[in-house]
C-alpha cells in the first residue's frame, strides 16, 4: 500500500486532526485506469463544493490534481482514495478559521469481487438502519459515515453486493456505497439527494449520458412501489461503474429484474470514457 500525508510518504496523522476528533472532512474514492483517473474532474468538483459548504479553506486544487495524477501514473488499475480534513485544531467544535487542511492520498489494489463479474447483475438488500436527513450535509461525501458503517454491517453474505438505504419516511435514497437508478417508460429516475445521501460522481456521469441515450432523467422521491413498477434498476459507484440489479430483497419479499439493457449500454459507454 502506498500512502502520502500532505504529500509526504507515510501513514501517520496527528490525533488532534479534526478528522479523528469529529469526522471533520471529506473524501473521494477514485478508479485509476491505464489512461488516468476516471472522472477526475467530477471528483475534484464535488470535493471543492464540499470544502465550500463545510467552510474548509486552503485547498490548492491545481496542486492536488497534479499530485493525484502523479500518484495514479504508477498504476494501470487501482483505487485511489483522497481524504481532505479541516486539519489540526484546538479542543472544541468551533473551527477558529486558522486550521490548515490535511490531505491523505492512498493507493489500494482493486478488490477482485467488485469487478470479477462486472457484467453480472447483482443482488441487493434493503437495510434496516435509516439515513438521518440534513440539508446542510446532503450530497456531500463527508467523513461522518457511521450510518453507512452500520448499514454495511447488517449483512455478511458475500453474494449480496449492496444494501439500499431509506430515510425515516421510507423513501429510497442510495446504497451504502452507491447510487440508485430505476427505469420505466424511457424515464430514468434517481433519488433526489436534497436531504441525505451522497451525490456520486458516477451518478453524475450517468445523468450526463442519459440525454444522449434518449432517456428523460428525473431526480425525485423514489419509494418501494416505484422500484416495483420499474422495468430495470442499476446502481452506480465511481470504482465499480454501472452495476445492473438482479434482485432486491426486503425480508421475505424479493423483487427481480430481468431487463438490463440500459445498464449494459451505459457500461459500454463507460468503457470508452
Residues 186-205 close enough to bind a second copy by CB under 8 A: 196
Question: Residue 221, class by beta-carbon neighbours within 10 Å (0-12 exposed, 13-18 middle, 19+ buried)?
Answer: middle
- Pairing between β-strand 216-220 and β-strand 253-256 as defined by DSSP bridges: unpaired
Residue 162 binds a second copy (CB under 8 A): no
Is the CB of 52 or the CB of 216 nearer to a second copy? 52
Q: CA-CA distance, 31 to 107, in Å (whole number)? A: 10
Task: Please state the closest distance from residue 79 (CB atom) to a second copy, in A.
Answer: 7
Distance CA 208, CA 190 (A): 13
Concatenated DSSP letters of 28-69: EEEEEETTEETTHHHHHHHHHHHHHHHT-----HHHHHHHHH
Please state the φ and ψ torsions of residue 41, each to the nearest 5 degrees. -60, -40
Comparison of 131 and 182: residue with beta carbon closer to a second copy: 131
21 binds a second copy (CB under 8 A): yes
What is the rounded CA–CA span in Å between residue 179 and residue 238?
Answer: 10
Of the listed pieces 13-21, 59-67, 216-224, 227-235, which binds a second copy according to CB under 8 A? Answer: 13-21
Q: What is the size of the binding site for a second copy (CB under 8 A)?
A: 57
Task: Say if CB 222 and CB 191 are below 8 A apart.
Answer: yes
Separation CA 102–CA 59 (nearest Å) = 9
Least distance from C-beta 83 to a second copy, angstroms?
7
Smallest separation, CB 240 to a second copy (Å): 12
The answer to whether residue 236 forms part of the interface with a second copy (CB under 8 A) is no
CB of 158 to a second copy, least distance (A): 10
Q: How far apart are CA 68 and CA 70, in angstroms?
A: 5
Determine if 211 is a binding residue for a second copy (CB under 8 A).
no
Identify residues 116-155 at the interface with a second copy (CB under 8 A): 129-137, 142-153
54 binds a second copy (CB under 8 A): yes
Closer by beta carbon to a second copy, 51 or else 137: 137
For a second copy, the binding residue among 176, 178, 209, 237 (CB under 8 A) is 176
Phi first, then psi: give them for residue 8, nearest 5 degrees.
Answer: -105, 130
Interface with a second copy (CB under 8 A): 3, 5, 11-24, 27, 54-55, 79, 81, 83, 85, 91-95, 104, 106, 108, 111, 129-137, 142-153, 168, 176-177, 196
Amino acid at each position: 500500500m502506498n500512502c502520502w500525508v500532505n504529500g509526504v510518504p507515510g501513514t501517520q496523522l496527528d490525533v488532534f486532526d479534526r478528522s479523528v476528533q469529529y469526522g471533520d472532512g471529506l473524501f473521494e474514492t477514485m478508479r485509476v485506469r491505464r489512461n488516468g483517473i476516471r472522472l477526475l474532474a467530477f471528483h475534484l468538483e464535488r470535493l471543492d463544493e464540499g470544502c465550500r459548504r463545510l467552510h474548509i479553506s486552503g485547498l490548492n486544487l491545481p496542486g492536488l490534481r497534479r499530485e493525484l495524477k502523479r500518484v495514479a501514473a504508477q498504476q494501470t488499475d487501482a483505487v485511489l482514495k483522497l481524504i481532505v480534513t479541516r486539519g489540526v485544531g484546538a479542543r472544541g467544535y468551533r473551527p477558529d478559521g486558522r486550521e490548515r487542511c490535511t490531505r491523505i492520498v492512498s493507493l489500494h489494489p482493486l478488490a477482485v469481487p467488485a469487478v470479477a463479474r462486472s457484467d453480472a447483475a447483482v443482488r441487493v438488500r434493503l437495510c434496516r438502519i435509516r439515513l438521518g436527513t440534513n440539508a446542510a450535509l446532503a450530497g456531500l461525501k463527508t467523513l461522518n459515515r457511521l450510518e453507512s458503517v452500520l448499514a454495511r454491517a447488517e449483512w455478511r453474505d458475500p453474494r449480496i453486493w449492496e444494501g439500499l438505504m431509506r430515510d425515516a419516511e421510507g423513501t429510497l435514497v442510495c446504497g451504502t456505497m452507491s447510487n440508485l437508478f430505476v427505469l420505466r417508460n424511457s424515464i430514468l429516475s434517481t433519488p433526489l439527494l436534497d436531504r441525505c445521501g451522497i451525490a456520486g460522481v458516477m451518478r453524475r456521469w450517468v445523468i450526463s449520458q442519459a440525454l444522449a441515450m434518449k432517456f428523460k432523467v428525473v431526480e425525485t422521491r423514489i419509494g418501494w412501489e416505484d422500484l416495483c413498477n420499474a422495468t430495470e434498476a442499476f446502481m452506480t459507484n465511481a470504482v465499480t461503474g454501472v452495476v445492473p440489479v438482479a434482485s432486491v430483497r426486503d425480508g421475505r419479499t424479493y423483487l427481480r429484474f430481468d431487463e438490463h439493457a440500459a445498464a449494459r449500454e451505459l457500461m459500454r459507454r463507460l468503457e470508452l470514457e
